[in-house]
Structures are given as structure tokens and as C-alpha cells.
Amino acid sequence: ASLERVSNLFRSTRPTAVNLFWAVDRMRRTALDAATHSPRTLAERILTEAKAIHGEDEEQCRVIGVAGSKILPNAAMVLTHCNTGSLATGGDGTALSVLKVAWESHMLKHVYVDETRPLLQGARLTAWELQQLGIPFTLITDSTAAFLLQQGKVNAVIIGADRITANGDVANKVGSYGLAVQAKYHGVPFFVAAPTTTIDFAMESGKEIPIEQRSGMEVTEIAGIRIAPPGVEVYSPAFDITPHELVSAIVTDRGVLRAPYRESLASLKQERTSLERHPRKV
């Protein structure tokens, strides 16, 4: 009962991100399988499984980086959103891993980083990570992105994902859908980078994805300073849904997927199921 309660508590913290559910369920199975053993053995097996998940994530990030770098245009000028680097994953990241490998391969020219309101993950986290990697970048406000695309200063957009449904719809940090629409209008490819654990085959489309709602204070205040009048009504979803029609490719640790996504994603289902039953380093 305590294990179920703790597992459900972890799941409830991020209802949109399916990777959390996958990891919690995997650790739960490990604990149940070792439940009849001594507390010491139980703890050792849980720690071993946690380290295995971390190691797998590191390798998945590496593979995503290599695969994604190969589909970026030459002299890539890339716009990215939110944070998808080592601060968000167990390795070099998803979309940011692609940028890292592209930079090391002399394929990347410049990165534009959305500040990512309201919590500013782009400004606070991605900007710092790019600085540490020595990758040239420019920080922009979210509302500048469309004008940047209109000016031809971007030739690719790449984001991460919190959940991908069976038809290829993508849940990611709010603002991602707007970028996809803008990229489509301006003829710029819109790429999504995510491990296969982000794919939720149980959901047919993005309409089924629960969207986490955030506190209005994240919008009405910045660093504890109120910027909006008291009493204003706020709508602040943490994520939005990008329809699969707007996605140029999905970069995974099992290859680059193209439309029709229902078919290309389904081809991964059997292998993903096998990996979950018999975890191994990819």
C-alpha cells in the first residue's frame, strides 16, 4: 500500500510527461520483484535499477544527438524552446544533444533561444548550458520568434517532447505549438527530439493528453515581484499540443521517424515493449 501511494504521488506531480510514469512503473516493478528479500537486498536492487535507467538515458541522448545532427541543414541556424539539455535529462539532452553534436561536427552556425515564459527555462537554463558548451546563441523573447522566421534568420526549429501519441501529436512546453505553426508558414522544418520512452501508444491523439495547469502567480509575478494588477484571471497551461501534421521529423534513440507517423511509430512498439520487459543498455 505504501509503495502504491508513493508511486501515485510521483505520477501526480507531472501528469503530462509520460517518461515519469514509465520510470516510476519500472522502479515499482523492481521493488515488487524484490519485496520478499531483505531490506538491504531490496535497496541494492532498487539502486541498481535506478543506475541502469540513468545509463540508458545517457546512451539514448547520445544516439539522439548523432541522429538529429544529420538531418539539420548545413550552416544550421536553429531556434529552440524551453530546456532539453543535461539539466533536464540523464545525459546531454534531447534537442540540445542534437545541437551539441552538430556544433562539434561544424554543422551548426547559431542557436536562437526562446526565453520560454512564464518560468523562463530558456533564459535561465538553456542559455547557461549553451554558454558552458561554447555554442554561439542569441536569447529572444517568445514573441520575437515569428519575426525571426520571417527575416530568414532561422532554417530549422527543434524542440523536445513530454509525450508523443500514437498518431504523432506532440505535447511539449507551452509555446511549442505556436512555433510549429510559424515554422510551417515560413517553410522551415520543425523537428522533435525525444527518446522512445516518450511515446505513449495507449493514446490515439493529443486530444487525450492531460495538460498540467500551473499557478497564476507564475504569470502575474516575476522573481516575486508582481507585474499584473491584483485579482486578474490567469490561464496558464504548462504544455500545449502540436498536431503531427506540423512535425517534419521525430528524432528518437531508434532512428528518425517521418510521416505517416502512425505507421512509423507503430513499428517501434514491439521493440519498445520488449525493452521494457527486458531492460538493457541500448
Q: How many domains does the chain have?
A: 1
Domain of 156 in residue numbering reads as: 59-277
Report yes or no on 252 lying in a domain.
yes
Residues 208, 252: Cα–Cα separation, whole Å: 22
Report yes or no on 216 lying in a domain.
yes
Between the two ends of the chain, the Cα-to-Cα distance in Å is 33
Query: How confident is the prediction along the chain (282 residues), in pLDDT tens digits per residue?
Result: 688 888 989 888 888 988 888 889 889 999 888 888 898 988 999 999 999 999 999 999 999 999 999 999 999 999 999 999 999 998 999 999 999 999 999 999 999 999 999 999 999 999 999 999 999 999 999 999 999 999 999 999 999 999 999 999 999 999 999 999 999 999 999 999 999 999 999 999 999 999 999 999 999 999 899 999 999 999 999 999 999 999 999 999 999 999 999 999 999 887 766 655 665 554
* Res 278: pLDDT: 63
Report yes or no on 21 lying in a domain.
no
Report yes or no on 245 lying in a domain.
yes
pTM to 2 decimal places: 0.91
Report yes or no on 113 lying in a domain.
yes
Q: In angstroms, what is the C-alpha Rg of the chain?
A: 19
Q: Is 33 a catalytic residue?
A: no
Report yes or no on 202 lying in a domain.
yes
* Res 268: pLDDT: 87
- Give the active site residue among 57, 114, 142, 162: 162
Beta strands in 105-244, from DSSP E residues, in sequence order: 108-114, 137-140, 156-159, 163-165, 170-173, 190-193, 199-200, 221-222, 225-226, 239-242
Residues 178, 159: Cα–Cα separation, whole Å: 12
Report yes or no on 50 lying in a domain.
no
* Res 12: pLDDT: 87
* Res 269: pLDDT: 83
**CATH number for the domain harbouring residue 197:** 3.40.50.10470
* Res 272: pLDDT: 62
* Res 18: pLDDT: 87
Report yes or no on 52 lying in a domain.
no
Residues 104, 173: Cα–Cα separation, whole Å: 27
Helix (H, G, I), strand (E, B) or coil at 66: helix
Task: Say how many C-beta atoms besides its own lie within 10 A of residue 50's C-beta.
Answer: 14
